[in-house]
Chain A
Amino acid sequence: MYNPLLSENPVEAEKLQAENKMLREEIAALKRTDKELRDLFEDISEVLYTIDMIAFKPIYMSSVCEKVYGYEASEFIADPYLWRNVIHPDDQHIPEKQLKDLYAGLQIFNRYRIIHKDGSIRWVENKIIPKVDQNGVLYRIDGVTSDITQAKKTEAELLETGLRYQILFEQNLAGIYRSNHEGRVLDCNLAFANMLGYDSTASFKEIKAAEHYFHLTGRQKFLADIHAHQNMDNYDVMLKHKNGSIVHVIENVFISTDPNTGEKYYDGIVIDVTKKRIAEQVLEQSRKRLEDAELLGDMGHWHWDLTTNRFHSSTGNLRLLGLDPGSSNESIEKMFEKVFPEDLPMINQAITTIMETGQIENLQFRFIRPDGSIRHLVTTSKLTKNEKGEPISMFGINFDITRIKLTEDKLHQSETSLEAKNAELQLKNKELEQFAYITSHDLQEPIRTVASFAELLQEQLGTDNDPATKKYFDFIFSSIDRMKKLISDLLDYSRIGRKTSVQEVDCNTILNEVIADLGAAITESGTQIQASALPLINGHPTEIKQLFQNLIMNAIKFRKKDIAPVIQISADKKADAWVFSVKDNGIGIEPQHRDRVFVIFQRLHTRTEYEGTGIGLAHCKKIVELHGGNIWLESEFGTGTIFLFTLKNQYP
């Protein structure tokens, strides 16, 4: 074998030895460089690798691969499929698609996921340089792989955050805006535009910020406030809807400053509270109306929280109780202290009742106001229970009935005094009747004396020669007769109902008796009496008879000159009384005299026309009233009269 070192040519050998040495040094240098390079590769975070594309297996992997893949370089070298298998199954298509570029000798660049030995998924970035021989055959690739998991994650996070903010901005129910000092709305979301009635943010932004305020000075006030506070929470503003109506909003707003230009922006988040404000206004109106109603109705309402034993009063209730607004939330014990002591047991009883029945109505009690005055109240109350059925509160309304109470008391007093007066009057009436009875009785005595001595005088004087004397005696005797009649009528009148007792009276029998008694007058005048069936009633028989007699006599007496009297008597049954009617065909009574005829001693005719004392119908009236009835008349002057009277079914 040829060995240059063993050459016989010393010069040649020396030369060879020198070359050999140089070569050795170069190799050593190369080895050193290789080592340094390798060390360098191992230091950098990217994985450097070389794959033999003929054998299709890695021939070099820098040891960083363990960091990225979890596998050591030796494992890659030992398992020719490992480098492909670490690629995430879903991403294997990425490098495969680029193979034809590689075969064409083009550098490729890709990103895909790999599955770390520990099972975690990581993102890597690859740069691959193909090596092609003079025949165009790809025989090797050199690649650099870097772990971009962190970057990828940050990127995703960034993307997500941005997206989230975008969504928050666009989809927010709250309005979001940025405006500047010149009063331009620089940016806003659709919610804010919609809030004020605009279809798009663009059309909204065209309008100057100041014009979105309901009040002309709204923007000025806003600027003053925001510069005074720098940032404001729950700032109340009235904005203007596109249609001109008020939009109540609250906003959180702060000033931000551009670091480069120093320009100030106002960034705000706005919530529409119009519905809430309107609801609040409606609520306030209702509350006011309730207060007014309570004032008008002299009433108030209250609420007793049984869990805390606090007693809450409405303004109206405080007014009823004479308490100041400080007592609108008072302890129940304090309230009970003001109840009229005598009424406390009743109130306690009422509370027991409410607890049992759930309700109590129109409970009357007295309450002592702080000024010492006593008010009469009436309360209606209801119990409220929780879902477990335990009582939790009582709700009630109070009415002030003090005025009604006072009126009632007065009424009661006047009723009492009226009763007393009535009794007094009855007594006086009795006395008067007694007086009339006694006086009329005593008057008979002197008139009898006058009559007796006038007769004696007439006998002595004689009246035959002097017509004047005769006339005087006629006047004396007719006056005496009249006086006697007046006295006896008055006596009868005062006697009505004095002695007789009430019993069952058959009016038919009574009428027949009257007709029999008046036989002469009836026959003489040719009177015809037509009577229908009359009832049985309870009454004074003598007086009832007198009543019929007077009425029939009246009808006969006031007959028309040439017409025989026809008297019709009947009775109709009404609810609680019989209505009797006595109808004649006599001269009738003029309308203006219809009440007067029932007054004692009132007459419509001179005695020369019709005899009488004017007591007959007064008599009838007294009899009817004794039986609790009424008497009246209907008449057509010149045609006849109907006297009507009622007698109670059950008297007394």
Chain B
Amino acid sequence: MKQKLNCVLLIDDDEPTNYFSRMILERCECTEKVALTQGGEAALRYLEAPTPPCPELIFLDINMPAMNGWEFLDKYRELDDVQKGKIVIVMLTTSLNPDDKDKAAGIPEISGFASKPLTPKKLTEILLKHFPERF
């Protein structure tokens, strides 16, 4: 491992899921910081903070109350480039619906699609694929 990620953002309304994902990330010691948000709107507020935190990796759930994963992506697209940063977005979901996977493949902002729960193996694959020079 050459250089840790500075920040990973988790977007999921289910508290146990976020807790579990954070545990995996922390055990792998791949990031300086893990940010937790319980929905799309909270995540947008986080990204729009006066000093943009610019996470390098986002794990995004699909089914969330009020603003789901798709709606979050619509709003994310409208952000300033500074707020968007160079972010890799991976959908992390329990959805068994193949339509969701097809839909995700058609959205340029989405770099990957993984099923819950997050495991060290899945995390390693994601890091090697999207940040090869750093892991």
Q: Which residues of A contact B (CB under 8 A)?
A: 471, 475, 478-479, 593, 602-608, 614
A contact residues around B39 at 8 Å (CB): 606
- Looking at B11-19, B84-92, B110-118, the stretch in contact with chain A turns out to be B11-19
Among all A-B residue pairs, the 7 with the closest Cβ atoms: A603-B65, A475-B16, A604-B66, A606-B38, A606-B13, A604-B65, A605-B65
- Let me know if B65 and A606 touch, CB within 8 A: yes
Q: Smallest Cβ distance from B99 to chain A, in angstroms?
A: 16
Contact partner of A471 among B13, B19, B38, CB < 8 A? B19
Known contacts: A602-B65, A614-B65. The answer to whether A607 contacts B16 by CB under 8 A is: no
- Let me know if B19 and A607 touch, CB within 8 A: no
Interface string of B1-29 (1 = CB under 8 A from A): 00000000000010110010000000000
A contact residues around B13 at 8 Å (CB): 606-607
B contact residues around A604 at 8 Å (CB): 65-66
8 A-B contact pairs sorted by A residue (CB < 8 Å): A478-B16, A593-B66, A603-B66, A604-B65, A605-B65, A605-B66, A606-B39, A608-B15
Q: Smallest Cβ distance from A86 to chain B, in angstroms?
A: 139
Q: Smallest Cβ distance from B107 to chain A, in angstroms?
A: 20
10 further A-B pairs in the complex, CB-CB below 8 A; given A603-B65, A606-B65, A608-B38: A475-B16, A475-B19, A478-B16, A593-B66, A602-B65, A603-B66, A605-B65, A605-B66, A608-B15, A614-B65
In the bound complex, CA of A606 to CA of B61 (Å): 13
Most chain B CB atoms below 10 A, which of A478, A479, A606: A606
Q: Smallest Cβ distance from A610 to chain B, in angstroms?
A: 9
In the bound complex, CA of A475 to CA of B19 (Å): 10
A contact residues around B15 at 8 Å (CB): 475, 607-608
Minimal Cβ-Cβ distance residue in A for B38: A606
Q: Smallest Cβ distance from A472 to chain B, in angstroms?
A: 9
Minimal Cβ-Cβ distance residue in B for A610: B65
Minimal Cβ-Cβ distance residue in A for B64: A606
Minimal Cβ-Cβ distance residue in A for B16: A475
Q: Smallest Cβ distance from A125 to chain B, in angstroms?
A: 134
B contact residues around A603 at 8 Å (CB): 65-66
In the bound complex, CA of A606 to CA of B37 (Å): 11
- Let me know if B16 and A479 touch, CB within 8 A: yes
Q: Smallest Cβ distance from A615 to chain B, in angstroms?
A: 13
In the bound complex, CA of A604 to CA of B64 (Å): 8
In the bound complex, CA of A66 to CA of B64 (Å): 152
Most chain A CB atoms below 10 A, which of B15, B16, B38, B65: B65
Interface string of B62-106 (1 = CB under 8 A from A): 000110000000000000000000000000000000000000000
Minimal Cβ-Cβ distance residue in B for A602: B65
In the bound complex, CA of A652 to CA of B5 (Å): 64
Minimal Cβ-Cβ distance residue in B for A612: B65
A contact residues around B16 at 8 Å (CB): 475, 478-479
Q: Smallest Cβ distance from A301 to chain B, in angstroms?
A: 61
A contact residues around B19 at 8 Å (CB): 471, 475
In the bound complex, CA of A614 to CA of B39 (Å): 16
Q: Smallest Cβ distance from B19 to chain A, in angstroms?
A: 7
In the bound complex, CA of A605 to CA of B19 (Å): 19
B contact residues around A478 at 8 Å (CB): 16
Minimal Cβ-Cβ distance residue in B for A471: B19
Minimal Cβ-Cβ distance residue in A for B66: A604
In the bound complex, CA of A93 to CA of B66 (Å): 140
In the bound complex, CA of A214 to CA of B15 (Å): 104
B contact residues around A593 at 8 Å (CB): 66
A contact residues around B65 at 8 Å (CB): 602-606, 614
In the bound complex, CA of A602 to CA of B16 (Å): 19
Q: Smallest Cβ distance from B76 to chain A, in angstroms?
A: 17
Q: Smallest Cβ distance from A286 to chain B, in angstroms?
A: 65
Most chain A CB atoms below 10 A, which of B15, B19, B39, B66: B66
In the bound complex, CA of A211 to CA of B24 (Å): 115
In the bound complex, CA of A608 to CA of B18 (Å): 13
A contact residues around B38 at 8 Å (CB): 606, 608
Minimal Cβ-Cβ distance residue in A for B15: A608
In the bound complex, CA of A36 to CA of B65 (Å): 165
In the bound complex, CA of A602 to CA of B39 (Å): 14
Q: Smallest Cβ distance from A243 to chain B, in angstroms?
A: 80
In the bound complex, CA of A602 to CA of B71 (Å): 14
In the bound complex, CA of A614 to CA of B13 (Å): 14
Q: Smallest Cβ distance from A24 to chain B, in angstroms?
A: 173
Minimal Cβ-Cβ distance residue in A for B63: A601
Q: Smallest Cβ distance from A469 to chain B, in angstroms?
A: 13
In the bound complex, CA of A607 to CA of B19 (Å): 15
In the bound complex, CA of A602 to CA of B13 (Å): 13
In the bound complex, CA of A382 to CA of B126 (Å): 87
In the bound complex, CA of A282 to CA of B38 (Å): 86
B contact residues around A605 at 8 Å (CB): 65-66
In the bound complex, CA of A471 to CA of B13 (Å): 17
B contact residues around A471 at 8 Å (CB): 19
B contact residues around A608 at 8 Å (CB): 15, 38
In the bound complex, CA of A603 to CA of B39 (Å): 12
B contact residues around A479 at 8 Å (CB): 16
In the bound complex, CA of A518 to CA of B66 (Å): 27
Q: Smallest Cβ distance from A445 to chain B, in angstroms?
A: 21
In the bound complex, CA of A355 to CA of B52 (Å): 95
Q: Smallest Cβ distance from B26 to chain A, in angstroms?
A: 12
Q: Smallest Cβ distance from B16 to chain A, in angstroms?
A: 4
B contact residues around A606 at 8 Å (CB): 13, 38-39, 65
In the bound complex, CA of A475 to CA of B38 (Å): 16
Q: Smallest Cβ distance from A451 to chain B, in angstroms?
A: 16
Minimal Cβ-Cβ distance residue in A for B17: A475
Q: Smallest Cβ distance from A449 to chain B, in angstroms?
A: 20
In the bound complex, CA of A607 to CA of B16 (Å): 12
Q: Smallest Cβ distance from A158 to chain B, in angstroms?
A: 117
Q: Smallest Cβ distance from A613 to chain B, in angstroms?
A: 11
In the bound complex, CA of A478 to CA of B15 (Å): 11
Q: Which of B42-67 contact A (CB under 8 A)?
A: 65-66
B contact residues around A614 at 8 Å (CB): 65
In the bound complex, CA of A471 to CA of B65 (Å): 24
In the bound complex, CA of A204 to CA of B109 (Å): 98
In the bound complex, CA of A479 to CA of B16 (Å): 9
In the bound complex, CA of A614 to CA of B16 (Å): 19
In the bound complex, CA of A608 to CA of B65 (Å): 11
Q: Smallest Cβ distance from B96 to chain A, in angstroms?
A: 14
Q: Smallest Cβ distance from B40 to chain A, in angstroms?
A: 11
Q: Smallest Cβ distance from B88 to chain A, in angstroms?
A: 25
In the bound complex, CA of A604 to CA of B16 (Å): 19
In the bound complex, CA of A608 to CA of B42 (Å): 13
In the bound complex, CA of A603 to CA of B16 (Å): 18
B contact residues around A607 at 8 Å (CB): 13, 15
Q: Smallest Cβ distance from A470 to chain B, in angstroms?
A: 13
In the bound complex, CA of A475 to CA of B66 (Å): 23
Q: Smallest Cβ distance from A457 to chain B, in angstroms?
A: 17
Q: Smallest Cβ distance from A454 to chain B, in angstroms?
A: 14
In the bound complex, CA of A593 to CA of B40 (Å): 14
In the bound complex, CA of A607 to CA of B64 (Å): 10
In the bound complex, CA of A455 to CA of B93 (Å): 28
B contact residues around A475 at 8 Å (CB): 15-16, 19
In the bound complex, CA of A84 to CA of B65 (Å): 149
